[in-house]
Amino acid sequence: MKKVINNFKTSGGKHCITNALKQVFEYYDYPLTEEMIFGIGSGLSFVYINLQQSPMVSGRTKPFEFEKKLGERLNVEMKCKSSVKYETAFKKTLKLLNDNKPVLVYADMPYLTYLNLGESSHFGGHAVVIFGYDDETKKFYISDRDNSDFPVRIPNGNISEDYHLVDFSQVEKARSSNYRPFPANNKYLDIKINKRQQITSSIIFSAIRETCDNMLNAPANLLGLNGIDKFSKEVLRWSKFDKEKLKLAGTTNYFQINADGGTGGGIFRKMYGDFLIQASEVVESKKLKELGSLYINISKQWDNVGNLMWNLSETADCQLLNKMSDMIKEIYTKEKTVLTGLQAVIN
């Protein structure tokens, strides 16, 4: 048997979960931009994670927490479900598809071979949409971030497919993976849009308020503005790494910052700036638009840090670390100014 949801339209996007949600929402006639989805879910964040293999930064809130908050604000039933056994998840996926319901699933990236990632590049919070299957060829129809008009850079070049036909066995490995830091564990989102919530000033202010609070009043030194400040200091300590670890740290953090890694550019700062500009039309605030433009400028500075990370991955040149540290300190000051300004607007 072959089943493809004909009315489901694939599209490329800036970030995996916002693009996946955008596609599912559009299928249910609830069109929202990726930026609006990201902002309403209070997606902007910062964390410095000192993993043994390589330190890593992230510019968004944890997977699954973001989706939960977005659902609450939009009054959309969005339950993250999982199965202990993959066979159960597989049968549930087929049932949903047969009922013409696209399935947003989480997958560990190295097992999706079209991404051409190394075996150690585990990230089980990657979101894709399954919108069909073919029993004869034993393949799923999967929409990822890339599309024919939206090329995405991967280690061996670009991919730009409207969809990917992926073997059942590959999908099983990707979905059932339990590798940290974000094990996929057969998770998927059960989404029900009963009533389309109009985007109001109240929703936008609530989302911005939470982002400002998380960034300005982070409960730990690794989080929020505290984390950016710590990053500026910790990056100097990378000089103690051996050459291979230094190169890996450069590669890892380049993809955490640059649009190539699915951040939308500037470690999600460009997406958030665009959200503020879109939101300014709803709340009729010129100040919000100005602050959005400032965040887009900050995203360019983050991209400069990302470019130095790429240089680091190629050269292991410790002299780059001092330059990065100075740039991150300047970013810290500018983000604090913008976030304080945002607080003033919403209060």
User: Positive or negative, the Cα torsion across 270, 272, 276, 279?
Assistant: positive
Structure tokens at 236: 């100097």
* Model pLDDT, residue 117: 84
With cut-offs at 50, 70 and 90, classify the pLDDT of residue 340: very high
Q: Which one has a higher pLDDT value, 250 or 179?
A: 250
Q: What are φ and ψ of residue 345, in 5° steps?
A: -65, -45
Q: For the chain, which residues make up each domain, given as ranges?
A: 2-31+77-192, 201-346
Taking only the tens place, the pLDDT of each residue in 87-108 is 999 999 999 999 999 999 999 9
Q: Which amino acid is at 202?
A: S
User: Which are the contacts of 333, defined by CB distance < 8 A and separation ≥ 6?
Assistant: none
What is the chain's mean pLDDT, rounded?
Answer: 95
| Beta-strand pair 152-154/2-4 | unpaired
Q: Which amino acid is at 100?
A: N
With cut-offs at 50, 70 and 90, classify the pLDDT of residue 230: very high
With cut-offs at 50, 70 and 90, classify the pLDDT of residue 182: confident
- Choosing among 1.20.120, 1.10.3470, 1.10.10, 1.20.1260, the CATH entry for 201-346 is 1.20.120
Q: How many angstroms separate the CA atoms of 31 and 16, rounded?
A: 17
CATH 3.90.70, domain 2-31+77-192, yes or no: yes
Prediction pTM value: 0.95
Q: Where are the alpha helices (DSSP H) in the chain?
A: 16-27, 34-40, 65-74, 86-98, 168-176, 201-216, 224-237, 243-257, 269-283, 286-315, 319-346
Taking only the tens place, the pLDDT of each residue in 184-203 is 999 999 999 988 889 999 99
* Model pLDDT, residue 62: 85
